């Protein structure tokens, strides 16, 4: 075998991987609310409003920032909210774009935290039956959860969407200015009985861990400290789900953990994770639909923001 | 184990390393056989037992046919073998379809009971390896092939993991000699080939595999959303939307399936095997019969050799026999794809096109030498008319809902000249539309330039790396986030 050929192929794969990795984290790190694109006429508009950055994963994406901004302007509140939710976001991933968030000087950061960020990735026991029938599970257990998780953390849900967004962002600015990272299109609401059928197939409780050494908790604490250090008011809420893979005990531990950090670092905390269970507003088990009939979630966030603005001047 | 997954790349890399390191033919052959069985076991769990059963059945039946002294005995063994293959395929692939039809008929005649469905899992690759095994015993029965002398050799031929799940369908007469060391003296030597990975094969194989990944992961997977947008609910769509959907699906299907074939052929080339081409620029076909010499070649030649020729053999001069034989062959080819009415319709339409074309050629034998058809304009017209007909059949290939299919076909044939919604669809799917344009340009380029993978593989190494980079980069940065299954896996 010619090692020159093999080396060439490996070199090509390495270069492609480097370009891929760099381009994936590029967008979220260069995001600027004042950027309207190379070929746009809007770039002269200087906005004097104070900024609220809404961050979190796709589960907070349905929050309609246009609606919130409209309410702000109706009530003459000098704020503008940007929904910076990003697919598959987690505290660890968000840490990578922290400096960019801070450099854009938001006055408030409202953070939707998902219980699913705190899964325990230590290897699960696979039954003998499963080992024999589904050999793939052994490999998934060996490699996927441990090794690939760290790779997965740095890759967005859809690299294709990310690269197209990046190109569009550079050329024409973010497509929806207040929802820059995920394509904003209306989604239908899945009927409850269909959702239940979906849950019943392949539903399995997972293991969660809320100890101080969990990498997501370490990252979360770093985020909290950095916001505090930079005088950015932080509000945390638990993002909603219709059904979770966490059992009741883990949900309680999740609440306790947030309460603990809320006291320790002095930030307000709101629990929304079980608030909408049973309501007809879901796209799937962990995503509220993007729809005019699901505004309840957006309205609750608006209420939280108004409450916090009234309770202490920000 | 999907070809477009990390699992496969790791699996293939380990096999290559082991083959390069351990240069003992016994080891290498056993390695390929066991890793092929592992490949299917990893993909399809316990259903791998069907593959093992098929190998054992056909190997011993093949021997029995060959060693039988009387014609009658040969026939008996041959029938057992055919029943074995068709039986496995029928039970796993078509039983529920047949039960459903019985139940529908039962409802029509007010029978108040239903036959319960078997709900059997469809074993991956079953249509491919049973056809491969059938051709083996048919060839032995016809006397055109000597049976494989060792089970190891036969198991290698049937289970070889690269073409195992979605073809190309191999022929024993073509593949077995490649397994043996001295091709010209295959009957005097039993020694099996030692795999030596040489530079030219390695470069050619990697190029073809890279092209396959590019076709599947960049072109087919990124066109898919446009096809789904239009075809999942075509009612109310304009004619031009349906035409765009049809073109998009034709390209998606081609890139998906020929991408798989390229990866299989490229992988096999690295190991020193020549697997026959499965596609040859089908969108430049100038007639329905030309199309079938360019599209899924391994299946169309199988159907021609083992189904159409025997049907038509003694009555080649009878127009009605030719017509019916073509229709039957193509309908069966359609059903081979899946137990569903839409595939039967797809095959039926192709059969009709082929039959009409064949009869027209019989009636006007000199038409092809006509000035018009020899001119550039004539050729382009032939291509356009043929492709219009071929793309029409793709509607039936995709749509299982009868109402949707009829609506889409009507819109495809009777143009409504409305554009409003089409423009909306196009502006919502700019990226897939760009990819379609890119595909058309690349396809024309490859048609004009000939064998592109071979040309690329003969380039100097730094140019070659540049081309590989151009294949890999779009695959990586336009990756959809999860490996999409190949369309032909379901068959």
Give pLDDT tens digits for B245-281.
999 999 999 999 999 999 999 999 999 899 999 999 9
Which residue of B46, B222, B468 is in closest CB contact with A9?
A: B468
The pLDDT of residue A128 is 73
The pLDDT of residue A182 is 74
pLDDT at A157 over 80: no
The whole-angstrom distance between A279's CA and the closest CA on chain B is 28
The pLDDT of residue A189 is 86
CA distance A244 to A230: 34
Interface test with B, best of A3, A7, A9, A10 (most B CBs within 10 A): A9
The pLDDT of residue B356 is 93
**Residue A271 in 3-state DSSP?**
strand
Name the closest residue on chain A to residue B199, using Cα atoms.
Answer: A2
Is the bond into B168 cis (omega within 30 degrees of 0)? yes
B478 to chain A, any CB pair closer than 8 A? The answer is yes
Cα A263–A268–A269 angle (5° rounding)?
Answer: 90
Strand partners of residue A51: A80
The pLDDT of residue A224 is 94
- Domain span at residue A204? 51-120+177-311
Residue A161 within any structural domain of the chain: no
The whole-angstrom distance between A197's CA and the closest CA on chain B is 19
The pLDDT of residue A154 is 58
The pLDDT of residue B186 is 47
Name the closest residue on chain A to residue B478, using Cα atoms.
Answer: A160
Q: Which residues of B touch A163 (CB under 8 A)?
A: 477-478
The pLDDT of residue A198 is 64
CB atoms B477 and A160 under 8 Å: yes
CB atoms A1 and B46 under 8 Å: no
Q: How many CB atoms lie within 10 A of CB B2?
A: 16
B476 to chain A, any CB pair closer than 8 A? The answer is yes
Rounded to an integer, the average pLDDT of B123-133 is 92
Residue A9 within any structural domain of the chain: no
The whole-angstrom distance between A14's CA and the closest CA on chain B is 10
Q: Are A20 and B476 in contact (CB under 8 A)?
A: yes
**Contact residues for B114 (Cβ-Cβ < 8 A; gap 6+):** B103, B106
A10 to chain B, any CB pair closer than 8 A? The answer is no
Among B124, B123, B131, which residue's Cα sits nearest to residue B170? B131
Interface test with A, best of B198, B217, B479 (most A CBs within 10 A): B479
List the 146-205 stretch of B: residues with Cβ below 8 A of A: 197, 199, 202-203
The whole-angstrom distance between B94's CA and the closest CA on chain A is 25
Q: pLDDT-based confidence at A125, cuts 50/70/90?
A: low
Q: Which residues of B touch A17 (CB under 8 A)?
A: 476
Q: Look at the block and give the residue holding tokens 């746009």.
A: A40
Q: Which residues of A touch B11 (CB under 8 A)?
A: none
Name the closest residue on chain A to residue B210, using Cα atoms.
Answer: A9
Q: A259-303 pLDDT, tens per residue?
A: 999 999 999 999 998 898 888 889 888 889 888 888 999 999 999
The pLDDT of residue B106 is 86
The pLDDT of residue B411 is 95
**Contact residues for B208 (Cβ-Cβ < 8 A; gap 6+):** B262, B263, B265, B266, B269, B453, B457
Give just the sign of the alpha carbon dihedral A29, A154, B469, B485.
negative
Q: How many CB atoms lie within 10 A of CB B195?
A: 20
The pLDDT of residue B488 is 74
Phi, psi for residue A28 in degrees, rounded to 5: -65, -25
CB atoms B41 and A9 under 8 Å: no
- Per the structure, the count of domains in chain A is 1
**Contact residues for A118 (Cβ-Cβ < 8 A; gap 6+):** A208, A209, A210, A214, A216, A217, A254
pLDDT at A212 over 90: no
Q: How many CB atoms lie within 10 A of CB B353?
A: 22
Strand partners of residue A56: A112
Residue A227 within any structural domain of the chain: yes
Which residue of B6, B45, B222 is in closest CB contact with A133?
A: B45
The pLDDT of residue A163 is 85
List the 90-149 stretch of A: residues with Cβ below 8 A of B: 133-136, 139, 148
CB atoms A20 and B477 under 8 Å: yes
Residue A279 within any structural domain of the chain: yes
Name the closest residue on chain B to residue A12, using Cα atoms.
Answer: B469
Q: Are A146 and A37 in contact (CB under 8 A)?
A: no
Helical spans, DSSP H, in A124-174: 128-133, 135-139, 149-153, 159-172
Which residue of B6, B42, B461 is in closest CB contact with A8?
A: B461
The pLDDT of residue B188 is 47
Name the closest residue on chain A to residue B218, using Cα atoms.
Answer: A160
Q: B6-56 pLDDT, tens per residue?
A: 888 889 999 999 998 888 888 899 999 999 999 999 888 888 999 999 999
CA distances from A95 to A100, A194, A226, B315 (A): 10, 36, 10, 76
Residue A265 within any structural domain of the chain: yes
Residue A166 within any structural domain of the chain: no
Phi, psi for residue A284 in degrees, rounded to 5: -150, -170
The pLDDT of residue A152 is 58
Average pLDDT across chain B, whole number = 90
CATH of the domain at A245: 3.40.50.1110
Active site residues of B: 337
Name the closest residue on chain B to residue A5, using Cα atoms.
Answer: B203
Estimate the crossing angle of helix B402-413 against helix B376-398, to 10 degrees: 160
Q: B423-480 pLDDT, tens per residue?
A: 999 988 889 999 999 999 999 999 988 888 899 999 998 899 999 999 999 998 888 8
Cα A149–A155–A158 angle (5° rounding)?
Answer: 120
**Contact residues for A269 (Cβ-Cβ < 8 A; gap 6+):** A235, A236, A237, A238, A258, A259, A262
Q: Look at the block and give the residue holding tokens 């509000």.
A: A235
Q: Which residues of A touch B464 (CB under 8 A)?
A: 8
Residue A213 within any structural domain of the chain: yes
More reliable by pLDDT, B410 or B363:
B410
The whole-angstrom distance between A41's CA and the closest CA on chain B is 22
CB atoms A11 and B465 under 8 Å: yes
The pLDDT of residue A211 is 84
Average pLDDT across chain A, whole number = 82
Strand partners of residue A55: A111
CA distance B405 to B409: 6
CB atoms B477 and A8 under 8 Å: no
The pLDDT of residue A170 is 85
Interface test with A, best of B195, B266, B477 (most A CBs within 10 A): B477
CB atoms B461 and A4 under 8 Å: yes
> Which of A99-113, A186-200, B286-300 is least confident?
A186-200
Interface test with A, best of B427, B472, B483 (most A CBs within 10 A): B472
pLDDT at A203 over 70: no
**Contact residues for B111 (Cβ-Cβ < 8 A; gap 6+):** none
Which residue of A11, A17, A160 is in closest CB contact with B478?
A: A160
Interface test with A, best of B12, B481, B483, B484 (most A CBs within 10 A): B481
Count A/B contacts: CB-CB distance under 8 Å. 70
Residue A233 within any structural domain of the chain: yes
Q: B141-170 pLDDT, tens per residue?
A: 999 999 998 899 999 999 999 999 887 999
Give just the sign of the alpha carbon dihedral B328, B331, B336, B340.
negative
**Residue A185 in 3-state DSSP?**
coil
Q: Which residues of A touch B203 (CB under 8 A)?
A: 5
Q: Look at the block and give the residue holding tokens 């469809």.
A: B122
The pLDDT of residue B199 is 84
The pLDDT of residue B219 is 95
CB atoms A5 and B431 under 8 Å: no
CA distance B11 to B263: 14
Q: B181-235 pLDDT, tens per residue?
A: 655 544 545 567 788 888 888 999 999 999 999 999 999 999 999 999 999 989 9
């Amino acid at each position: 075998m010619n090692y020159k050929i093999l080396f060439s192929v490996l070199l090509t794969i390495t270069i492609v991987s480097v370009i891929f990795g760099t381009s994936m984290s590029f967008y979220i790190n260069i995001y600027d609310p004042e950027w309207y694109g190379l070929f746009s006429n809007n770039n002269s508009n200087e906005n004097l409003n104070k900024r609220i950055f809404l961050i979190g994963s796709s589960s907070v994406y349905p929050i309609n920032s246009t609606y919130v901004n409209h309410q702000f302007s109706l009530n003459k509140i000098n704020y503008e909210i940007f929904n910076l939710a990003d697919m598959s976001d987690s505290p660890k991933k968000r840490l990578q774009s922290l400096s960019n968030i801070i450099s854009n000087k938001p006055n408030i950061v409202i953070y939707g935290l998902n219980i699913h960020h705190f899964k325990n990735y230590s290897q699960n026991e696979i039954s003998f039956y499963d080992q024999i029938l589904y050999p793939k599970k052994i490999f998934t257990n060996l490699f996927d959860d441990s090794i690939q998780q760290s790779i997965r953390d740095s890759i967005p849900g859809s690299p294709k969407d990310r690269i197209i967004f990046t190109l569009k962002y550079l050329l024409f600015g973010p497509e929806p200015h207040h929802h820059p990272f995920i394509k904003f299109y209306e989604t239908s609401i899945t009927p409850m009985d269909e959702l239940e059928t979906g849950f019943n197939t392949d539903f399995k409780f997972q293991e969660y861990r809320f100890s101080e050494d969990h990498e997501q908790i370490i990252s979360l604490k770093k985020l909290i400290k950095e916001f505090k250090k930079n005088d950015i008011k932080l509000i945390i809420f638990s993002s909603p789900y219709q059904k979770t893979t966490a059992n009741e005990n883990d949900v309680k531990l999740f609440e306790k953990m947030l309460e603990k950090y809320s006291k320790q670092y002095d930030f307000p905390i709101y629990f929304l994770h079980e608030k909408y269970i049973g309501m007809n507003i879901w796209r799937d088990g962990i995503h509220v639909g993007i729809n005019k009939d699901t505004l309840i979630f957006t309205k609750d966030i608006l209420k939280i923001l108004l409450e916090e603005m009234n309770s202490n001047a920000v | 184990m999907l070809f477009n997954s990390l699992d496969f790349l790791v699996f293939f890399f380990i096999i290559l390393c082991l083959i390069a390191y351990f240069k003992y033919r016994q080891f290498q052959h056993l390695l390929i056989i066991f890793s092929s069985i592992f490949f299917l076991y990893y993909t399809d769990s316990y259903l791998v037992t069907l593959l093992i059963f098929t190998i054992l059945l056909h190997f011993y039946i093949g021997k029995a046919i060959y060693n039988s002294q009387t014609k009658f005995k040969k026939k008996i063994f041959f029938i057992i073998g055919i029943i074995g293959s068709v039986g496995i395929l029928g039970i796993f692939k078509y039983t529920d379809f047949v039960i459903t039809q019985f139940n529908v008929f039962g409802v029509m005649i007010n029978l108040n009971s239903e036959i319960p469905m078997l709900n059997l899992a469809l074993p991956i690759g079953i249509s491919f390896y049973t056809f491969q095994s059938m051709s083996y015993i048919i060839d032995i029965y016809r006397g055109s092939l000597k049976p494989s002398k060792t089970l190891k050799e036969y198991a290698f031929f049937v289970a070889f993991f690269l073409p195992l799940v979605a073809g190309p369908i191999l022929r024993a007469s073509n593949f077995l000699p490649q397994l043996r060391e001295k091709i010209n003296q295959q009957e005097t030597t039993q020694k099996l080939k030692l795999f030596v990975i040489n530079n030219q094969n390695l470069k050619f194989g990697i190029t073809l595999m890279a092209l396959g990944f590019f076709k599947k992961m960049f072109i087919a997977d990124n066109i898919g959303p446009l096809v789904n947008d239009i075809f999942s609910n075509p009612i109310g769509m304009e004619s031009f939307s349906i035409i765009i959907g049809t073109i998009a699906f034709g390209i998606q299907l081609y890139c998906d399936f020929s991408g798989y074939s390229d990866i299989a052929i490229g992988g096999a080339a690295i190991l020193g095997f020549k697997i026959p081409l499965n596609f040859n620029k089908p969108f430049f076909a100038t007639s329905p019969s030309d199309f079938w010499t360019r599209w899924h070649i391994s299946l169309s030649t199988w159907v021609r050799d083992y189904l159409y020729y025997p049907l038509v053999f003694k009555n080649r001069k009878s127009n009605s026999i030719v017509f019916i034989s073509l229709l039957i062959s193509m309908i069966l080819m359609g059903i081979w794809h899946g137990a569903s009415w839409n595939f039967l319709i797809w095959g039926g339409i192709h059969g009709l096109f082929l039959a009409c074309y064949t009869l027209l050629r019989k009636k006007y034998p000199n038409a092809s030498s006509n000035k018009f058809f020899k001119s550039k304009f004539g050729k382009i017209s032939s291509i356009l008319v043929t492709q219009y007909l071929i793309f029409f059949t793709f509607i039936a290939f995709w749509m299982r809902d009868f109402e949707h299919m009829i609506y889409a076909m009507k819109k495809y044939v009777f143009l409504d000249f409305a554009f409003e919604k089409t423009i909306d669809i196009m502006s919502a799917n700019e990226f897939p539309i760009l990819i379609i344009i890119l595909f058309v340009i690349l396809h024309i380029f490859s048609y004009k330039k000939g064998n592109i993978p071979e040309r690329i593989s003969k380039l100097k190494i730094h140019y070659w790396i540049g081309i590989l980079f151009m294949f890999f980069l779009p695959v990586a940065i336009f990756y959809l986030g999860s490996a999409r299954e190949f369309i032909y896996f379901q068959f």
